[in-house]
Amino acid sequence: MPKPRIDPKSALVFRRRLATWFRRAGRDLPWRRTRDPYRILVSELMLQQTQVSRVVEFYDRFLNRFPTLGHVARAPQRKVMESWEGLGYYARARNLHALSKEVGATRDGVLPADAAELRTLPGIGAYTAGAVSSFAFERRAALVDTNVARVLSRVFAPRLKPKSPRDQKQLWGIAEMILPRTGKAAWTHNQALMELGALICTARIKRCGVCPVSAGCRSRDVVRPE
């Protein structure tokens, strides 16, 4: 399958419009106010398969019980699981505990900044590695989750299916192609992409009429107005 081509000017316009919109409309969420890698990691694990509003309820409570990765590592796994109660998908809590032990034993308790290194830790997939690298360390790292895959395919390559493993490789390629040059700008860009997928270009509805990137979107014409 030929690789999608994105001309640099379209990518630039997309980035600018997206970032401007995010500065105005992005939600003030607790994990957007911190660059603490552990706190970012906890938020990313909690947000997998779970609604933002539900995570907000649990996030501070969990962090009060386990303020650092070291606190998780020193606790018995059952205590970490208990604190995860109500959030579901307990494999995430088990993985966090295993990760805390490994990072404690091999890295003096310090999470790495590099996405490729993060990827080697228990329970950390490509998306979470990119998210921690970008959101905690402000590294220039791409990330593609379900929301981002949907937005990127709709905007740049409607023939790609966000859930197809083969197409996902191409969507990662697009995410890297359109990433801003600096890590700081990539932080805003990545947050904004995810926010657009959560608020405007959702799985259920496309709000093209109020979408900041509608002018350059290849799926805009096939969308019925709300």
Count of residues near ligand SF4 by CB under 6 A: 15
Q: Does 41 bind ligand SF4 (CB under 6 A)?
A: no
* C-alpha closest to that of 130 among 147, 146, 113: 113
Q: How far is the CB of 196 from ligand SF4 (least distance, A)?
A: 7
The packing angle between helices 146-156 and 165-177, to 10°, is: 70
The three-class DSSP label of residue 206 is strand
Question: Could you give the angle at the alpha carbon of 182 between the alpha carbons of 48 and 130, nearest 5°?
Answer: 20
The three-class DSSP label of residue 201 is strand
Q: Which two tokens stand for residue 45?
A: 């694990």
Q: Does 47 bind ligand SF4 (CB under 6 A)?
A: no
Q: Does 63 bind ligand SF4 (CB under 6 A)?
A: no
d(CA 116, CA 170): 18
Amino acid at site 46: M
Contact with ligand SF4 (CB under 6 A): which of 73, 154, 178, 195? 154
- Residue 195 among the catalytic residues: no
Contact with ligand SF4 (CB under 6 A): which of 151, 157, 160, 194? 151
Q: How far is the CB of 97 from ligand SF4 (least distance, A)?
A: 38
Q: Does 147 bind ligand SF4 (CB under 6 A)?
A: no
Q: Which residues bind ligand SF4 (CB under 6 A)?
A: 151, 154-155, 200-201, 206-208, 211, 213-214, 217, 219-220, 223
